C-alpha cells in the first residue's frame, strides 16, 4: 500500500466529514460505513468511517477514518481522526484553526443568505398578481414586523455578537469563546433574512416592487453590515 496516497485519501475524507454537523456524525456511532476507492496508483483501497464517544454518550465525538488495501494492512490500517463537541467546536486543535473553521462556516451562511435576496425578488416578480391590490393593511403589518425584526437584530448584535467578538480580541481564544462567537454570528445573520421575506410576502399580496424594495434593500444592507470578518479586521461583525 502506498502510504502517501493512503494519507491523502484519509485527509480528504476527514475534510469532508468535518463539514458535516455534529448530529449527522453521530449516525456513525456503532455503525460506520465502508467503501472502496481506486487510488492514483491504480490499487483499490478500503476506506472505513466510524465514530465513538470520546468521553460519554452525547458528549464529544471522535470521528475516525481508517484505510487499508485489503492485504496485511487490514490488520494495521492507517488512520486519522478528529474530535468534535456537541456545539460543533473541534477539540484539541489550535484555537486559530477552530476560529478559521467557524469563520468559514459563518461566511458560507452569509453568502447563501445574500443569494436568497435576488431569488426572493425574482420569485416575487414571477408569482405576483397580474393586477395590484390594496395592500395598505398588510403593508403596515409587515412594516411593524420589520421594525420588531430590526430591533431583534440590533439587540442580538449588541448583547451577543459584539461581546463575543470583544471576548476573543481581549484574550487567548478558547473553544467556548469561539463557539459563542460562531453561534452569535449565525443567529445575527439568520435574523436579518426575514426582512427580505416580508418584501416577498408584500409583493405576493398585491403590492408593487416599489413597495417591496425597501424590505429587500434593508435586509441586504444589514447582511452586508454584519459580514463575518477576521478579528484583525477593523469593522465589527
DSSP 3-state assignment of 232? coil
Looking at 86, 121, 155, which one is the last position of a domain? 86
Judge if 197 and 133 occupy the same domain: yes
| Exposure letters 183-217 (e unless 16+ CB within 10 A, then b) | bbbbebbebbbbbbbbbbbbbbbbbeeebbeebbe
Mean pLDDT of the chain: 85
Judge if 186 and 74 occupy the same domain: no
Cα separation, 183 vs 106, in Å, equals 9
Query: What average pLDDT does the segment 16-45 reach?
Result: 87
pLDDT at residue 96 tops 70: no
pLDDT for 236 equals: 39
Looking at 86, 121, 137, which one is the last position of a domain? 86
pLDDT for 124 equals: 92
pLDDT for 3 equals: 82
Q: Give the CA diameter of the chain.
A: 77
Between CA 36 and CA 101, with CA 53 as vertex, the angle to 5 degrees is 75
Query: What average pLDDT does the segment 35-64 reach?
Result: 88
Residue 78's alpha-carbon distances to 67, 81, 133, in angstroms, are: 5, 11, 67
pLDDT for 140 equals: 92
Residue 103's alpha-carbon distances to 89, 119, 210, 228, in angstroms, are: 12, 25, 35, 7
Judge if 189 and 112 occupy the same domain: yes
pLDDT at residue 115 tops 90: yes
Q: Confirm whether 30 is domain-assigned.
A: yes
How many domains does the structure of the chain reveal? 2
Judge if 189 and 219 occupy the same domain: yes
pLDDT for 237 equals: 42
Share of the chain above pLDDT 90, in %: 40
Q: Confirm whether 177 is domain-assigned.
A: yes
Question: The domain containing residue 35 runs over which residues?
Answer: 3-86
Cα separation, 167 vs 160, in Å, equals 11
pLDDT for 97 equals: 65
Question: Which of 25-39, 95-109, 135-149, 214-228 has the least mean pLDDT?
Answer: 95-109
pLDDT for 189 equals: 95
Q: Confirm whether 125 is domain-assigned.
A: yes
The 10s digit of each residue's pLDDT in 160-217 is 888 888 877 776 566 677 878 888 999 999 999 999 999 999 999 888 899 999 999 9
Cα separation, 176 vs 237, in Å, equals 18
**Plot region of 144 (φ>0 → left; ψ -120 to 50 → alpha; else → beta):** alpha
Question: Which of 104-113, 177-186, 213-222 has the least mean pLDDT?
Answer: 177-186
Amino acid at each position: 500500500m502506498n502510504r502517501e496516497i493512503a494519507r491523502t485519501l484519509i485527509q480528504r475524507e476527514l475534510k469532508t466529514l468535518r463539514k458535516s454537523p455534529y448530529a449527522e456524525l453521530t449516525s456513525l456511532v456503532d455503525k460506520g460505513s465502508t467503501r472502496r476507492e481506486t487510488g492514483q496508483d491504480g490499487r483499490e483501497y478500503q476506506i472505513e468511517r466510524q465514530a465513538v464517544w470520546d468521553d460519554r454518550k452525547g458528549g464529544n465525538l471522535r470521528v475516525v477514518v481508517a484505510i487499508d488495501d485489503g492485504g496485511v494492512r487490514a490488520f494495521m490500517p492507517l488512520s486519522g481522526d478528529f474530535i468534535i463537541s456537541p456545539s460543533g467546536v473541534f477539540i484539541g486543535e489550535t484555537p486559530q484553526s477552530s476560529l478559521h473553521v467557524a469563520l468559514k462556516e459563518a461566511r458560507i451562511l452569509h453568502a447563501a443568505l445574500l443569494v436568497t435576496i435576488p431569488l426572493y425578488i425574482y420569485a416575487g416578480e414571477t408569482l405576483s398578481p397580474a393586477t395590484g391590490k390594496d395592500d395598505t393593511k398588510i403593508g403596515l403589518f409587515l412594516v411593524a414586523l420589520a421594525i420588531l425584526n430590526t430591533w431583534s437584530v440590533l439587540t442580538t448584535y449588541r448583547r451577543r455578537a459584539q461581546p463575543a467578538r470583544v471576548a476573543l480580541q481581549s484574550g487567548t481564544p478558547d473553544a467556548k469563546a469561539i463557539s459563542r462567537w460562531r453561534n452569535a454570528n449565525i443567529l445575527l445573520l439568520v435574523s436579518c433574512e426575514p426582512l427580505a421575506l416580508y418584501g416577498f410576502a408584500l409583493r405576493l399580496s398585491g403590492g408593487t416592487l416599489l413597495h417591496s424594495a425597501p424590505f429587500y434593500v434593508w435586509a441586504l444592507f444589514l447582511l452586508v453590515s454584519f459580514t463575518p470578518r477576521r478579528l484583525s479586521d477593523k469593522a465589527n461583525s
